[in-house]
Chains A and B, each alone.
Chain A
Amino acid sequence: MAQEPILSMRNISKSFPGVQALDNVNLTVYKSEIHAIVGENGAGKSTLMKVLSGVYPYGQYEGEIHFEGKLQRFEDIRDSEAQGIIIIHQELALVPMLSIAENIFLGHELAKAGIIDWHTAYVRAQELLNRVGLKELPSAIVGRLGIGKQQLVEIAKALAKRVRLLILDEPTASLNETDSEALLRLLLELKAHDITCILISHKLNEVMQVADRITILRDGTTIETLNCAETLVKEDHIIRGMVGRDIQHRYPQRRPKIGEVIFEVRNWRVYHEQYVDYEVIKGVSFNVRRGEIVGIAGLMGSGRTELAMSLFGHAYGRRINGQVFIDGREVNVSTIGDAIRHGLAYVTEDRKGWGLILEQEIRKNVTLANLPKVSQRGVIDENSEAKVAQGFRESLRIRCSSIEQFVVNLSGGNQQKVLLSKWLFTQPSLLILDEPTRGIDVGAKYDIYTIIDGLAAEGKGILLISSEMPELLGMCDRIYVMSEGQFVAELPRSEASQERIMHAIVSSVQS
């Protein structure tokens, strides 16, 4: 194989307020190879690809990008696409209501004077579909295809754009085995046709199956690049590279006082909201004890949020069944009102979308889930409401000019505290926290950890969902590992480690 670099990213650094996302990353990709990039959530993979594709334009990062021998200064995605760098995101960018052909040529329609030549478009689309091995008509509506087929449409779309370097971000995360196999075979075929490919994936078995070289990222730095042709690469080696770091003292010292089981779920099953036959949660059983912080580890798309939201008054999913026990008694939590009444609270991972009313005051956000508590016969007592909000402002140390400030103007950490206040005001016995520290700075993180620890000490049960493994290891008394809609391991604090969690995930997706 010709060892001539097609892409070389040199000393790339990129920082966000409070976070160094990339720190002197070097990446060299050779012509027509499949180059895998592996790393934990938050290791910097996506940021690196956004730098490469021009989402972060030249000038917003340090370092140089050389592509096909030339220094590149991409201003936006169109610039990088013009050079043949095409990225396919995990969240597919297809328009579900349009046909395959319309999607393939979206944005660069085969048109003369603004009039589309549909005949040519359909013929070309058919050629591309043949190339990616998708047996569907170009006129088929994309939304009716399965996720695997949609993925192939995305690749066909990339091929239509004279692709030189194809970047796939977790392409098989939501695919079943047969579809994944087909996709990987396609990558090998494209490689034979001189298309270089960067593959970002958590599925190490797949990576090792197709990759020529593997680069490991951790905490925004390059750990090493392994050449699969030269040495026999072992999975353990990669995992150690991905997670090998000590947990520093970023978590409060916990002295758990664990009581009896207050929350138990048996054989919980949930189907996808749109794809009717797709089972998202496949028979999960677990429990949480009083005063215990229980973690759920897993990769993005493993079903953690879907599990939490379906438990919280069926806020997600269809055809939900299974049993929920609170304090040993089976309860019905089929509406959110029921769930709240039975002492459940769910702090969403999506603060802005599902959590807060941004254009309203802190005061109003805090009391929203329990308005009857501050009202009499349906009339709100604004004074007692203000007292409640003021109390949370002080106890959770929400930094704001007053409780009348709109939450949209608060920092991420303080917004998170407002959201926590809202749910604490419902006086729950079980608090489900979904990525409670996502996108907030280190200092505010410590505050949140302290609050969580305090709640457990009060005797509440805590279910903590997090993509940051150090956070789970630092906070939890017990960790369930979730993968593809199932719990694949249960690790007590003493046995939990990043390697064991990763192993549990990796071995589950292989079998």
Chain B
Amino acid sequence: MKISTLRNNLRDYGLLISLIVIIGFFQIVTNGILLQPLNLTNLILQNSYIVVMALGMLLVIVAGHIDLSVGAASGFIGGLAAILMVHYEWSVTLTIIVALLVGMLIGAIQGWFVAYARIPSFIVTLAGMLVFKGSALALLQGQSIGPFPLAFQSISTGFLPDPFGGKDIRVFSLIIGVVLAGIFVGIDWHQRFKAQMHGLNKEPTALFAVRNFLFAAIIIYLAWQLSTYKGLPTVLILMGVLILFYQFIAGRTVIGRRIYALGGNEKAARLSGIDTSRLIFLTFANMGLLAAVAGIIFAARLNTATPKAGNGFELDVIAACFIGGASASGGVGRVIGAVIGAFIMGVMNNGMSILGIGIDYQQVIKGLVLLAAVFFDVYNRNRSQFG
């Protein structure tokens, strides 16, 4: 009984534990470079656009579909933003608004073909991938365009200002870290309390305490590390807000619940009065919007738009979702899982680069990790069902 509770809880946190183990491993083999303030900041900046797209991709995958076009779409949006700002000298705000709208339109068009024309999403988005890759090339005429206005760059290169004017340490960023840790523990405590009231709580007290202590410690530690460099990156804050928002959408709202139902059993969802076509359409439109956000972040980070931007991003994004426990047949997957999955990929990329492992073997290792992660997930699920 006790062992099985522990095992169940371990399964829930298995992913996070894997991430911590991977971080620990690379921290040791890179002699502590991995978590140095500068590298930690880079790690976040490098992965932000993957994480942002993984949020949308998770919903698409949970709905039982796939979007192969997100890399190309984000590259196209980056190029579009560059043209608008550099050639046409549009303001940064207007450019961003238009870029986001175009992204949403791209998603909506593909969503229409999937939801209403009933063409498999694999095909629609494969076509979309080619179209947007080509469009980006045409738009940029094979050239790189930059640099961008400072306001635009600061999306990716900005840091949280420190009103306390700390010199060696950005006090404000650290305070935010501590407050976040406090909020996290508070929410968790509140939910445990509510669950107990309804007699639903199954988690042992010790585990609850250890978990909260560890999480709070990790958040504060990371905030400390970042504070000793330039503070919390703006992108991290944007990313954090998006993660919380989509976590909320997926877990707590009617629309989120319906997406899970749609992926779990489309026929049953339809027979329950759910407009499944509209829902599919919306998940794709949302994916397009997030691809645009990612495209903007990526262009801002490089301070230039290149025709190659976005190449292969879709693979990292999809891999993040599957490593994070999403099911390829739909209906199963967690937002936080996809985020952790993205960071597992990111930490491995970063760690292996520090170690000087070539891009060739990096890909081999990443492929194997993806396969292993899904294999253990499937294996565990089957065992718990039949054993």
Chain A interface (Cβ < 8 Å from any Cβ of B): 312-313, 315, 336-337, 339-340, 346, 348, 353-360, 364, 368-369, 371-372, 375, 378-380, 382-383, 386, 402, 404, 422
**Complex A-B: 20 CB contacts under 8 Å:** A313-B273, A315-B270, A336-B270, A336-B271, A337-B275, A353-B268, A354-B268, A356-B265, A356-B268, A357-B264, A359-B332, A360-B260, A360-B331, A364-B260, A368-B257, A369-B273, A371-B254, A378-B253, A386-B198, A386-B200
A371-B258, A386-B200 known; A340-B273 Cβ under 8 A: yes
Residues in A with CB closer than 8 Å to B194 are 383
User: Are B273 and A357 in contact, with the CB atoms below 8 A?
Assistant: no
Q: Closest CB-CB distance, B108 to chain A, in whole Å? A: 20
Residues in A with CB closer than 8 Å to B267 are 353-354
Residues in A with CB closer than 8 Å to B198 are 383, 386
Residues in B with CB closer than 8 Å to A386 are 198, 200
Closest 5 CB pairs of A and B: A357-B264, A369-B272, A340-B273, A357-B265, A336-B273
- Measured CB to CB, the nearest residue on chain B to A409 is B385
Alpha-carbon distance between A346 and B198 when the two chains are bound, in angstroms: 31
Q: Closest CB-CB distance, A85 to chain B, in whole Å? A: 33
User: Are B254 and A375 in contact, with the CB atoms below 8 A?
Assistant: yes
A336-B271, A348-B271, A422-B272 known; A357-B261 Cβ under 8 A: yes
User: Are A380 and B252 in contact, with the CB atoms below 8 A?
Assistant: yes
Residues in A with CB closer than 8 Å to B254 are 371-372, 375, 378-380
Contact of A380 among B200, B257, B332 (CB under 8 A): B257
Contact with A along B272-294 (1 / 0, CB 8 A): 11110000000000000000000
Contact of A368 among B269, B275, B332 (CB under 8 A): B269
Chain B interface (Cβ < 8 Å from any Cβ of A): 194, 198, 200, 252-255, 257-258, 260-261, 264-265, 267-275, 331-332
Alpha-carbon distance between A206 and B52 when the two chains are bound, in angstroms: 67
Majority secondary structure of chain B interface residues (helix, strand, loop or mixed):
helix
Q: Closest CB-CB distance, A109 to chain B, in whole Å? A: 30
User: Are B264 and A358 in contact, with the CB atoms below 8 A?
Assistant: yes
User: Are B257 and A379 in contact, with the CB atoms below 8 A?
Assistant: no
Q: Closest CB-CB distance, B246 to chain A, in whole Å? A: 14
User: Are B265 and A379 in contact, with the CB atoms below 8 A?
Assistant: no
Q: Give the tally of cross-chain contacts (CB within 8 A).
A: 75
Contact of B271 among A346, A360, A372, A380 (CB under 8 A): A346
Q: Closest CB-CB distance, A417 to chain B, in whole Å? A: 16
Residues in A with CB closer than 8 Å to B257 are 364, 368, 371, 380
Q: Closest CB-CB distance, A273 to chain B, in whole Å? A: 13
Q: Closest CB-CB distance, B203 to chain A, in whole Å? A: 13
17 additional A-B pairs beyond A369-B273, A380-B253, beta carbons within 8 Å, are A315-B271, A339-B273, A355-B268, A356-B265, A356-B268, A357-B268, A358-B265, A359-B331, A360-B331, A368-B261, A375-B254, A379-B253, A380-B252, A380-B257, A382-B252, A383-B198, A386-B198
User: Are B273 and A337 in contact, with the CB atoms below 8 A?
Assistant: yes
Q: Closest CB-CB distance, B378 to chain A, in whole Å? A: 13
Alpha-carbon distance between A369 and B265 when the two chains are bound, in angstroms: 13
Residues in B with CB closer than 8 Å to A369 are 272-273
Alpha-carbon distance between A96 and B269 when the two chains are bound, in angstroms: 28
Q: Closest CB-CB distance, B132 to chain A, in whole Å? A: 32
A337-B275, A355-B271, A383-B194 known; A404-B265 Cβ under 8 A: no
Alpha-carbon distance between A382 and B265 when the two chains are bound, in angstroms: 21
Q: Closest CB-CB distance, A255 to chain B, in whole Å? A: 33
Alpha-carbon distance between A360 and B332 when the two chains are bound, in angstroms: 9
Alpha-carbon distance between A353 and B255 when the two chains are bound, in angstroms: 22
User: Are B270 and A379 in contact, with the CB atoms below 8 A?
Assistant: no
- Measured CB to CB, the nearest residue on chain A to B381 is A359
Residues in B with CB closer than 8 Å to A357 are 260-261, 264-265, 268-269, 331
Residue of A353, A356, A360 contacting most chain B CB atoms (<10 Å): A360
Q: Closest CB-CB distance, B54 to chain A, in whole Å? A: 22
Alpha-carbon distance between A378 and B106 when the two chains are bound, in angstroms: 26
Alpha-carbon distance between A346 and B271 when the two chains are bound, in angstroms: 8
Alpha-carbon distance between A348 and B268 when the two chains are bound, in angstroms: 9
Residue of A337, A356, A371, A422 contacting most chain B CB atoms (<10 Å): A371
Alpha-carbon distance between A358 and B261 when the two chains are bound, in angstroms: 10
Alpha-carbon distance between A371 and B252 when the two chains are bound, in angstroms: 11
- Measured CB to CB, the nearest residue on chain A to B267 is A354
- Measured CB to CB, the nearest residue on chain A to B198 is A386
Q: Closest CB-CB distance, B297 to chain A, in whole Å? A: 28
Alpha-carbon distance between A383 and B252 when the two chains are bound, in angstroms: 11
Q: Closest CB-CB distance, B116 to chain A, in whole Å? A: 15
- Measured CB to CB, the nearest residue on chain B to A336 is B273
Alpha-carbon distance between A364 and B331 when the two chains are bound, in angstroms: 13
Residues in A with CB closer than 8 Å to B261 are 357, 360, 364, 368
Q: Closest CB-CB distance, B21 to chain A, in whole Å? A: 28
Alpha-carbon distance between A383 and B194 when the two chains are bound, in angstroms: 8
- Measured CB to CB, the nearest residue on chain B to A353 is B267
- Measured CB to CB, the nearest residue on chain B to A375 is B254
Alpha-carbon distance between A375 and B267 when the two chains are bound, in angstroms: 23
- Measured CB to CB, the nearest residue on chain B to A363 is B200
Q: Closest CB-CB distance, B18 to chain A, in whole Å? A: 23
Q: Closest CB-CB distance, B367 to chain A, in whole Å? A: 28
Residues in A with CB closer than 8 Å to B265 are 353, 356-358
User: Are A378 and B273 in contact, with the CB atoms below 8 A?
Assistant: no
Residue of A364, A368, A371, A379 contacting most chain B CB atoms (<10 Å): A368
Residues in B with CB closer than 8 Å to A371 are 254, 257-258
- Measured CB to CB, the nearest residue on chain A to B275 is A337
Alpha-carbon distance between A402 and B201 when the two chains are bound, in angstroms: 11
Q: Closest CB-CB distance, B201 to chain A, in whole Å? A: 11
Residues in A with CB closer than 8 Å to B268 are 353-357, 368
Alpha-carbon distance between A383 and B196 when the two chains are bound, in angstroms: 11
Residues in B with CB closer than 8 Å to A339 are 273
Residues in A with CB closer than 8 Å to B264 are 357-360
Q: Closest CB-CB distance, A463 to chain B, in whole Å? A: 16
Alpha-carbon distance between A231 and B26 when the two chains are bound, in angstroms: 89
Residues in A with CB closer than 8 Å to B272 are 336, 368-369, 422
User: Are A402 and B200 in contact, with the CB atoms below 8 A?
Assistant: yes
Alpha-carbon distance between A82 and B260 when the two chains are bound, in angstroms: 47
Residues in B with CB closer than 8 Å to A346 are 271
Alpha-carbon distance between A355 and B272 when the two chains are bound, in angstroms: 8
Q: Closest CB-CB distance, B305 to chain A, in whole Å? A: 37
Q: Closest CB-CB distance, B144 to chain A, in whole Å? A: 43
Residues in B with CB closer than 8 Å to A382 are 252
Residue of B194, B267, B269 contacting most chain A CB atoms (<10 Å): B267
Residues in B with CB closer than 8 Å to A315 are 270-271
Alpha-carbon distance between A445 and B261 when the two chains are bound, in angstroms: 28
User: Are A378 and B332 in contact, with the CB atoms below 8 A?
Assistant: no
Residues in A with CB closer than 8 Å to B252 are 379-380, 382
Residues in B with CB closer than 8 Å to A360 are 260-261, 264, 331
Alpha-carbon distance between A404 and B202 when the two chains are bound, in angstroms: 11
Alpha-carbon distance between A330 and B205 when the two chains are bound, in angstroms: 59
- Measured CB to CB, the nearest residue on chain A to B197 is A383
